[in-house]
Structure 1
Amino acid sequence: MAYVITDACINCGACEPECPVGVISSGDDKYVIDAAGCIDCGACANVCPVDAPKPE
């Protein structure tokens, strides 16, 4: 199971540097996770101030 970033994302960028496999990138109005590369570690969820990353 991979993580996805929900609409709660405020585009702060806190999650991107925490991803150990580099699958988080900036989208138009929120960050996105490439689910194919996500290792389900939860590092992004641990640092998100608005709890936007959720298990898919």
Structure 2
Amino acid sequence: MLVYQAGEKYQLLFIFPKATQQNSDPQLDHYNVFYPSGSANLMADDPGIRY
């Protein structure tokens, strides 16, 4: 997974499969636009996921 900070609030996550002997240069599987603050649970004092 590669993480790119896209502005102050968002991250772009690029997900690749693991490299193997048969496929030493895997291509992009999928990508996500991630909003880290949206994963926080303030009532449980959980800051959420940070990459």
TM over 0.5: no
TM-score normalised to the size of structure 1?
0.21
Q: Which has the higher strand share?
A: 2
Normalised by the length of structure 2, the TM-score is: 0.22
Structure index of larger Rg: 2
